[in-house]
């Protein structure tokens, strides 16, 4: 059995966050290539760097991440990714939790962490909703600021320059759906 390479994946949830600490750890751990992105981790959909990373990996390679929640926030997504990796004979190493799926202990521990990661996400959502409800009772909740509509002039300028709607979304740090919706509103209004 030939020994594969270590391939890293780093992720932060927001565009104003920095993944350099993660990428440094991954490089220091021996990763020959590192994929990094700024995307939410609640689903593996719309995570192009994760998709690129997963397709880059070959048999006997090891996917290296710093924490389990960088890869997935739901047990289902994590189990699906792990199943895919296992079918392709690709290992997983989680640096901060010291998990290595090349061992049976590592596989068992990883399964337990997936359940706790999902539990933590659900608890965080509940706390957030409770906080919003209390703020609404006090009359102090205003909701989040509309980001897409505020950027309508920039969208129109980029559209006039010939950029596609997906490229406009990427340029402005918005979802493609937001760009389509705002530009649709402009046509109707």
pLDDT tens by residue, 151-183: 888 888 998 899 898 899 888 888 888 888 888
Question: Quick one: how far is CA 69 from the chain centroid?
Answer: 9
Chosen CATH of 6-116 out of 3.40.640.10, 3.40.1000.10, 3.30.70.3270, 3.40.50.1390: 3.40.50.1390
pLDDT exceeds 60 at position 186: no
Q: Which residue has the higher pLDDT, 170 or 1?
A: 170
> How many CB atoms are closer than 10 A to CB 72?
26
Q: How confident is the model at residue 6 (pLDDT cuts 50, 70, 90)?
A: very high
For all residues of the chain together, what is the average pLDDT?
86
In 3D space, the residue among 107, 27, 10 whose CA is nearest the CA of residue 66 turns out to be 10
Which of 13, 29, 74, 175 is an active site residue? 13
Residue 19 structure tokens: 């993944």
The pLDDT value given to residue 78: 80
The pLDDT value given to residue 55: 95
In 3D space, the residue among 66, 67, 10, 65 whose CA is nearest the CA of residue 38 turns out to be 10
Q: How confident is the model at residue 57 (pLDDT cuts 50, 70, 90)?
A: very high
Instruction: Give yes or no: 164 in active site.
Output: no
CA dihedral angle for residue 83, residue 87, residue 88, residue 93, rounded to 10 degrees:
40
Please compute the mean of the pLDDT values over residues 15-24 and round it to a whole number.
89
**Alpha-helical runs (H) found in 151-189:** 152-160, 165-172, 176-188
The pLDDT value given to residue 59: 94
Could you read off the pLDDT of 107-135 as tens digits, one per residue?
788 778 777 777 888 898 899 889 888 88
Q: Rounded to an integer, what distance in angstroms lies between the CA atom of residue 182 and that of residue 152?
A: 7
CB 95 within 8 A of CB 64: yes
Tell if the pTM clears 0.75, that is, is over it: no
Could you read off the pLDDT of 70-120 as tens digits, one per residue?
988 777 788 788 889 989 999 999 999 888 987 888 878 877 877 777 788
């Amino acid at each position: 059995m030939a020994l594969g390479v270590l391939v890293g994946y780093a992720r932060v949830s927001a565009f104003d966050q920095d993944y350099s600490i993660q990428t440094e750890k991954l490089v220091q751990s021996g990763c020959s290539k590192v994929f990094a992105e700024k995307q939410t981790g609640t689903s593996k959909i719309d995570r192009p760097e994760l998709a690129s990373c997963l397709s880059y990996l070959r048999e006997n390679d090891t996917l290296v991440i710093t924490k389990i929640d960088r890869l997935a926030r739901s047990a289902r997504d994590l189990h699906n990714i792990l199943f895919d990796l296992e079918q392709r004979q690709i290992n997983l190493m989680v640096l901060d939790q010291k998990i290595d799926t090349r061992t049976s202990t590592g596989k068992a521990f990883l399964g337990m962490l997936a359940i706790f990661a999902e539990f933590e996400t659900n608890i965080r959502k509940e706390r957030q909703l409770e906080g919003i409800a209390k703020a609404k009772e006090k009359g102090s909740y205003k909701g989040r600021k509309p980001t897409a509509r505020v950027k309508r002039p920039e969208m129109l300028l980029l559209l006039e320059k010939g950029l596609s709607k997906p490229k406009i979304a990427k340029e402005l740090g918005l979802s493609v759906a937001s760009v389509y919706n705002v530009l649709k509103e402009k046509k109707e209004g």
